[in-house]
């Protein structure tokens, strides 16, 4: 297909945009089957804490090859639940990456523990196991790697470190539902794995999350935590004709509704086709953009099967006469909804004030952040949408070359 030429006037300078309408970086896909699944729940006796929760959890375990799955009201709630189940408490430390959404580190703080960051590798931008090893102390209790953009972290060396030091590994796979690592499904590899069902993810429940584990005791702690620290739930008590319950620990109301679980169960049936479409789009981007001088495409390691939640590109600043701010604005003016993932967690004002970070402590993550731009990536994109993204990318980067 014809490509937009770099000689064309940029939309930000008064030229015609590549697209007439705005294309977001991510978007949910809801069909009639999904809608009817929700309608049936709305017409039933239970719209929360009912049978759909268990059905969704059981279906999910089969999809990710884990023994237990515990649904939560959001990915953040799921991370918090995992930190609780891992036993994090004041005085403990947990090591994670700065190249993530703040919820990954915040869940450590929620338990009164201290987040310790380790830098990332320059290729995948996943946490660097060697840097993790250098930051383990007698206070370390857990390691929380993130599968950045849907590419699994280097899990084997991380798990080896954890086994040597008796640590728990919580894999933040909120980007990586359907991803694979060395032939295994993400979800059954680490002590606990956390997923998100936000609308921009591979499947959605509106808001929602899940923790998977093979450990029955951890699963029990997760269920307790999401329900105020109360053993059992209202549906179980009704089935037994009982009213009595006991709160045995301090938990939260992190329950996912039957409405959300019905949607999630319907969406889960479409996961394979959603993943396939994302991989098609990634392959299209790879083929079209690989020859643009100065653009750095996402790395895929041979042992990984990415889920492509994001398609983050970077660029060599010396190759262009504009920085990220100008390039980002120019792409947006072409109606391409680029985004940036992520502002490194330690550079947020809260973390700087709380822990004294200045922003240059993790040089690989910081350098990557300064040139990162996420191109639109979601399974509802058409071939024409992908072509528009490619045309706009060539047009803008060609203009500033």
Please check whether residues 143 and 23 belong to one and the same domain: no
- Mean pLDDT on 205-234: 96
- Mean pLDDT on 235-262: 92
Domain contains 6: no
**Which of 216, 235, 268 is at the close of a domain?**
268
Cα–Cα distance for residue pair 339/334, rounded to 1 Å = 14
Q: Does residue 236 have a pLDDT over 90?
A: no
Please check whether residues 220 and 80 belong to one and the same domain: yes
User: Three-state DSSP class for 28?
Assistant: coil
Q: What percent of the chain has pLDDT over 70?
A: 99
Please check whether residues 164 and 303 belong to one and the same domain: no
Cα–Cα distance for residue pair 86/25, rounded to 1 Å = 34
User: Three-state DSSP class for 350?
Assistant: helix
Q: Does residue 1 have a pLDDT over 80?
A: no
For residue 191, the domain's CATH number is: 3.40.640.10
Cα dihedral 72, 75, 80, 82, rounded to 10, equals 80
Domain contains 130: yes
**Which of 268, 301, 330 is at the close of a domain?**
268
Please check whether residues 331 and 260 belong to one and the same domain: no
- Mean pLDDT on 160-169: 98
Domain contains 211: yes
Domain contains 253: yes
Please check whether residues 264 and 160 belong to one and the same domain: yes
Please check whether residues 114 and 195 belong to one and the same domain: yes
Q: What is the DSSP string of 199-268?
A: TTSSS--SS-EEEEES-HHHHHHHHHHHBTTBSS-HHHHHHHT-----B-S---B-PPBHHHHHHHHHHH
Residue linked to tokens 């915040």: 106
Q: Does residue 2 have a pLDDT over 70?
A: no
Domain range spanning residue 379? 11-29+271-400
pLDDT range class, residue 4, cuts 50, 70, 90: very low
Distance of CA 360 to the CA centre of its chain: 24
- Mean pLDDT on 374-400: 98
Contact 265, 59 (CB under 8 A): yes
pLDDT range class, residue 5, cuts 50, 70, 90: low
Please check whether residues 19 and 56 belong to one and the same domain: no
Domain contains 81: yes
Residue 59 Cα distances to 86, 208, 268, angstroms: 24, 15, 8
Contact 142, 167 (CB under 8 A): yes
- Mean pLDDT on 184-204: 98
Please check whether residues 136 and 263 belong to one and the same domain: yes
Please check whether residues 315 and 248 belong to one and the same domain: no
Q: Which helix (H) or strand (E) holds 328?
A: helix 324-333
Cα–Cα distance for residue pair 280/305, rounded to 1 Å = 13
pLDDT in tens, 252-306: 999 999 999 999 999 999 999 999 999 999 999 999 999 999 999 999 999 999 9
For position 365, what pLDDT does the model report?
A: 98
Q: Does residue 203 have a pLDDT over 60?
A: yes
Query: What amino acid positions are annotated as catalytic residues?
Result: 201
Gyration radius of the chain over CA positions: 22
Please check whether residues 168 and 237 belong to one and the same domain: yes
pLDDT in tens, 326-351: 999 999 999 999 999 999 999 999 99
290 burial (CB, 10 Å; 0-12 / 13-18 / 19+) is exposed
Cα–Cα distance for residue pair 132/351, rounded to 1 Å = 19
Q: Does residue 6 have a pLDDT over 70?
A: no
For position 90, what pLDDT does the model report?
A: 98
For position 240, what pLDDT does the model report?
A: 84
Domain contains 4: no
Please check whether residues 59 and 79 belong to one and the same domain: yes
Cα–Cα distance for residue pair 226/70, rounded to 1 Å = 9
Return mean pLDDT, the chain.
96
Distance of CA 3 to the CA centre of its chain: 32
Domain contains 93: yes
pLDDT range class, residue 223, cuts 50, 70, 90: very high
Closest CA to 147 of 128, 121, 122, 173: 173
User: Three-state DSSP class for 127?
Assistant: strand
Task: Give the range among 12-21, 229-238, 243-252, 380-389 with minimum mean pLDDT.
Answer: 229-238
**Which of 250, 268, 286 is at the close of a domain?**
268
Please check whether residues 191 and 285 belong to one and the same domain: no
Cα–Cα distance for residue pair 88/225, rounded to 1 Å = 13
Domain contains 195: yes
- Mean pLDDT on 116-139: 98
Q: Does residue 235 have a pLDDT over 80?
A: no
pLDDT range class, residue 237, cuts 50, 70, 90: confident
For residue 313, the domain's CATH number is: 3.90.1150.10
Cα–Cα distance for residue pair 368/346, rounded to 1 Å = 14
- Give me the numbers of helices (H) and strands (E) for the chain, helices first please: 14, 13
Q: Give the count of domains, the chain.
A: 2
């Amino acid at each position: 297909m014809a490509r937009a030429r770099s000689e064309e006037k940029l939309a930000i300078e008064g030229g015609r945009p590549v697209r007439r309408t705005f294309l977001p970086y991510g978007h949910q896909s809801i069909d009639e089957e999904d809608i009817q699944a929700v309608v049936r729940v709305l017409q039933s006796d239970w719209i929360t804490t009912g049978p759909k929760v268990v059905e969704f959890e059981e279906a999910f375990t089969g999809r990710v090859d884990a023994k237990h799955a515990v649904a939560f009201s959001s990915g953040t709630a799921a991370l918090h639940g995992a930190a609780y189940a891992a036993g994090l408490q004041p005085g403990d430390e947990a090591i994670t990456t700065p190249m993530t959404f703040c919820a990954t580190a915040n869940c450590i703080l929620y338990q009164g523990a201290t987040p310790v960051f380790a830098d990332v590798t320059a290729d995948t931008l996943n946490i660097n196991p060697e840097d993790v090893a250098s930051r383990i102390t007698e206070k370390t209790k857990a390691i929380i790697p993130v599968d950045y953009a849907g590419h699994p972290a280097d899990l084997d060396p991380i798990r080896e470190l954890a086994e040597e030091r008796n640590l728990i590994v919580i894999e933040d796979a909120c980007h990586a539902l359907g991803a694979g690592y060395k032939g295994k499904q993400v979800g059954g590899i680490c002590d606990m794995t956390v997923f998100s069902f936000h609308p921009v993810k591979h499947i959605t429940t509106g808001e929602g999350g899940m923790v998977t584990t093979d450990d029955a005791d951890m699963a029990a702690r997760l269920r307790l935590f999401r329900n105020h620290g109360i053993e059992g739930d209202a549906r179980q008590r009704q089935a037994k004709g009982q009213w009595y319950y006991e709160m045995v620990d301090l938990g939260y109301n992190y329950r996912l509704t039957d409405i959300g679980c019905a949607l999630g169960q319907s969406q889960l049936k479409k996961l394979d086709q959603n993943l396939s479409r994302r991989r098609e789009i990634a392959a299209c981007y790879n083929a079209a953009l690989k020859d643009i001088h100065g653009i750095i495409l996402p790395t895929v390691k041979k042992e990984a099967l990415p889920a492509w939640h994001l398609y983050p590109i970077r660029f060599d600043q010396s190759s262009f006469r504009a920085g990220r701010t100008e390039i980002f604005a120019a792409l947006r003016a072409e109606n391409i909804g680029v985004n940036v993932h992520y502002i490194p967690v330690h550079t947020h004002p809260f973390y700087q004030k709380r822990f004294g970070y200045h922003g240059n402590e993790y040089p690989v993550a910081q350098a990557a952040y300064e040139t990162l731009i996420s191109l639109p990536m979601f399974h509802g994109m058409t071939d024409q949408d992908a072509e528009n993204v490619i045309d706009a990318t060539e047009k803008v980067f060609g203009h500033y070359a």
